[in-house]
Amino acid sequence: MPLRKLLRGLKRKSEEIAPDEIFIDSSNLPSFDTDQFEGRIEQPIRRRTASVLLGVFALVVLTFAGRASYLQIFEGTAYAALSENNRLSHEYVFADRGTIVDRRGVDLVHDSHKEGSDYPSRVYSSYTGLSHVIGYAKAPAKDSSGIYYQDTYVGAEGLEKALDERLRGVNGLKIQETDAKGRVTSESTIAAPKHGETIALSVDAELNQVIYNALAARIEESGFRGGAAAVMDLTTGELLALTSYPSYSPQIMTDRSDQAAIRGYLKDTRQPFLNRAILGAFTPGSIMKPYFALGALNENLISPTKSILSTGALTVPNPYNPDKPSVFKDWKAHGWVDMRQAIAVSSNVYFFTIGGGFGDQAGLGIEKLEKYARSFGFGSKTGIDYFPEEDGTVPSKAWKAKLFPDDPWRLGDTYNTSIGQYGFQVTPLQALRAVSAIATRGTLITPTIIQGARGERKEGTLPMTYEEYQILFEGMRMGAQIGTAKALNLGYVHIAAKTGTAELDSSKSYVNSWVTGFFPYEHPRYAFVLLLEHGPYKNLYGAPGVMLSAFEWMHGNRQEMLEGKDD
């Protein structure tokens, strides 16, 4: 401020001015730190600046007030529920999966509760021969955050998969209340779990295990690739045994803990996951002969008492090259055999003759060979519930034309078809159903694996006479007494059986060994089939010897079966 204005102001207040007010000694000036604004005259904040600051503060207050009001008024319920959920948690009460038992109530698979586990463990019995029937399941699974995205066991194979909805059950639900430190203070169940259904199978687990063990031992000792077997009740279609080797452990597949074993299953070229009894198709060989014998009888081509000479081969002249006749070998020279004897000793020459014809004896021909094979169910599914099936193959002219368009059907193809060789592929379950039709004298029965579920019975579809079936009965009974199935000539039960030794590969150095049949002979109640797949031709121990183990066990443990009664 100018000195002149200052002096004027002082004059207005006082007329007198002291000398020290005019002449101020500069040495007496106070010490001010001007960098800190000391000694400077303060000026008031501008009104505009103050207004801006006030507006900013007002906006902040209004924003917070608005957000608080929104959360309280509009979102209050939702956040209250969220707060409550932070205190109350919902958890599954895992349902027990259904139990599977055999026809005698023997536990085959059940759930077991272990402390510390959210869900029960699936426990499979030690009956390894039923792995392909029962299958396995996949356990509940959760993600990395601990939330279950699969909250039940899920069937993966076999009946565990096919009957998954019946076995699964329904999970329950419980509420847990926790305090601020996460400790459970109370819990209550608001929905109880529902146990899965108990399924009773038609199989006899002990009988099935005996057959499986005998199969496994023979396959491993004699160098076969695998095998399968089945036993069926002729009155109901119930399967008392259905087994396949090699197999796998359902426990390992469900637990997924032994990864080395699982890798071993997957790398095994013998395909342990293949259910050979139902999905395996194999060359049948001579087990087809009874069906063609019945066809020849039904077509009035031959009397059952007419004998045909087998010198060890059937030599057919070659009209194009007489020096090179076609030779179709028998497995041995049988001499003169009629139909019963030909079935018993499995004469190839006899069936070459009635199948394709030779000399003055007319044969069925390929069309009728196909007709009778199909009439007994070969080339089509058996209709068993819950399992996928293989159709198999019945050779025909049309079949060959499709596969080998440049090679016409030949008489030799007919001869080989008549002994179950050329082009045939059948499943063990088809073979079981077919031999059951002989045992029942013409009824095709649909197999079933569930106890009390009667398989469909197609009666009258094979309209051959009682006498014609009787020829097959007697021939197959002779087969077990003095023929190729004489390993089953037992004093405690009379069995009718037919064997088959199907030659494989062009070298014929490997074979499938079969036996089919029924018992007791006098009033058949059960039918059976057993296959040893792809073993050395020179092996002397075949399918009948393996089936013998089952009959010996039945003699000591299931005598009622050998008597044709309910087991």
Edge-first strand listing for the sheet containing 184-191: 88-93, 172-178, 184-191
Average pLDDT of 104-130?
93
35-72: b (≥16 Cβ within 10 Å) or e: eeeeeeeeeeeeeeeeeeeeeeeeeeeeeeeeeeeeee
**Among 190, 307, 197, 287, which Cα is nearest to 496's?**
287
Q: How distant, in Å, are the alpha carbons of 83, 142, 425, 436 from that of 391?
A: 62, 40, 9, 18
**What was the pLDDT predicted at 449?**
97
Domain 90-200 identical in fold to domain 205-562: no
**What was the pLDDT predicted at 36?**
56
**What was the pLDDT predicted at 403?**
93
May I ask the CATH class of domain 205-562? Answer: alpha beta
Kindly state the percentage of the chain with pLDDT values over 70. Answer: 83
Instruction: Please give the Cα distance from 465 to 168 (Å, whole number).
Output: 49
Name the pTM for this structure.
Answer: 0.82
Average pLDDT of 44-63?
69
pLDDT band at 310 (very low <50, low <70, confident <90, very high): very high
**What was the pLDDT predicted at 318?**
81
Q: Phi and psi of 151, rounded to 5°?
A: -100, 15
May I ask the CATH class of domain 90-200? Answer: alpha beta
Residue 162: pLDDT above 60?
yes
3-class SS of residue 478: helix
**What was the pLDDT predicted at 75?**
59
**What was the pLDDT predicted at 508?**
81
250-265: b (≥16 Cβ within 10 Å) or e: bbbbbbeeeeeebeeb
Give the CA count within 13 Å in the CB-facing half-sphere of 23: 1
Residue 288: pLDDT above 70?
yes
Residue 24: pLDDT above 60?
no
> CB pairs under 8 A, 24+ apart, for 518-523?
518/234, 518/435, 518/436, 518/438, 518/439, 519/493, 519/494, 519/495, 519/562, 519/564, 520/493, 520/494, 520/495, 520/562, 520/563, 520/564, 521/473, 521/477, 521/494, 521/495, 521/496, 522/494, 522/564, 523/564
- Least confident range from 317-326, 449-458, 558-567: namely 317-326
**What was the pLDDT predicted at 47?**
72
**What was the pLDDT predicted at 45?**
64
Average pLDDT of 149-163?
94
Q: Phi and psi of 193, rounded to 5°?
A: -70, 155
Model pLDDT for residues 432-461, shown as the tens digit of each residue = 999 999 999 999 999 999 999 887 887 766
**What was the pLDDT predicted at 48?**
72
pLDDT band at 539 (very low <50, low <70, confident <90, very high): confident
- Burial, 518: exposed, middle or buried (Cβ in 10 Å; 0-12, 13-18, 19+)? buried
Model pLDDT for residues 235-262, shown as the tens digit of each residue = 999 999 999 999 999 999 999 989 999 9
**What was the pLDDT predicted at 180?**
55
**What was the pLDDT predicted at 135?**
97
**What was the pLDDT predicted at 426?**
98
Average pLDDT of 73-101?
70
**What was the pLDDT predicted at 71?**
53
> Please, are residues 406 and 457 in contact by the beta-carbon 8 Å criterion?
no
**Among 361, 318, 353, 360, which Cα is nearest to 334's?**
353
- Where is pLDDT greater, at 231 or 1? 231
Model pLDDT for residues 340-384, shown as the tens digit of each residue = 999 999 999 999 999 999 999 999 999 999 999 999 999 999 999
- Least confident range from 207-216, 356-365, 505-514: namely 505-514
Question: CB neighbours of 321 closer than 8 A, spacing ≥ 6?
Answer: none
- Where is pLDDT greater, at 130 or 189? 130
Domain boundaries, the chain: 41-74, 90-200, 205-562
Residue 154: pLDDT above 70?
yes
Model pLDDT for residues 386-406, shown as the tens digit of each residue = 999 999 999 999 999 999 999
